[in-house]
Amino acid sequence: MPKLDGTHIVGRLRGRLEELREGKEVAARDLRALLTAKQVAEMDEAWLQQQALRKKKRARTKEEEVELGWKTKREIQIEAYERAYDEARDNEVKAWEKRVRDVQVRQARIYMDSYSKARKEGREDYVAENLANNDLTRAGLQRVDGKKVWHQDPRDKEIWEMEQQIQQRARSEMTPEELEQIEIWEEHEKALAKNRKKQGL
């Protein structure tokens, strides 16, 4: 399973927070998994304070509990998750920037390692560039030469076939006027593509 980073944590925290608010049972291990050590310590400390408060001041009714500041364990967990969620949201942009930077560093390292190795083996410059770009493709990264290489695994093929079936079914249910509009649009797209090709774009 891939390691969670700041780009994943916001969605996970939101989902767990919704579970807590809905009153669903969440294992203690799962509760702590998404929080930092500091956030877990703060949540535990808040619960210890609540236990101490309950020992000092007794309440007979719900109103008295509210007046005395009593909170349930669930309320403390929700507050901890709300703080963690807000903090994660504040750091989300930085997390995405770090992820992009990490990918760029990895891309540069793979390219340069492969290129240098090929040149040391006495290969021509253009061959070394192609080998380095091929290694980027194998690593699932964008090629430096800008060429697009499409991978097609069995799942991609299934999805593509399903899309085709859905489009065919939708097309078979169209009125003649709608079909005519689609055909006009397709002709327009073909003409634009032809013009782009002529202009070398």
CB burial of residue 185 (10 Å; 0-12, 13-18, 19+): exposed
pTM higher than 0.85: no
CA dist., res. 145 & res. 108, Å (int): 13
pLDDT of residue 151: 61
CB burial of residue 189 (10 Å; 0-12, 13-18, 19+): exposed
pLDDT band at 201 (very low <50, low <70, confident <90, very high): low
More confident of the two residues 8 and 124: 124
More confident of the two residues 139 and 5: 139
Instruction: Give the residue-averaged pLDDT of 58-84.
Output: 83
Looking up tokens 């994943």 gives 8
pLDDT band at 111 (very low <50, low <70, confident <90, very high): very high
pLDDT(1) > 50: no
Mean pLDDT of the chain: 85
Instruction: Give the residue-averaged pLDDT of 129-156.
Output: 82
Are 112 and 120 in contact, with CB atoms under 8 Å apart?
no
CB burial of residue 141 (10 Å; 0-12, 13-18, 19+): middle
pLDDT of residue 4: 64
pLDDT of residue 131: 92
Nearest alpha carbon to residue 35 among 11, 9, 61? 9
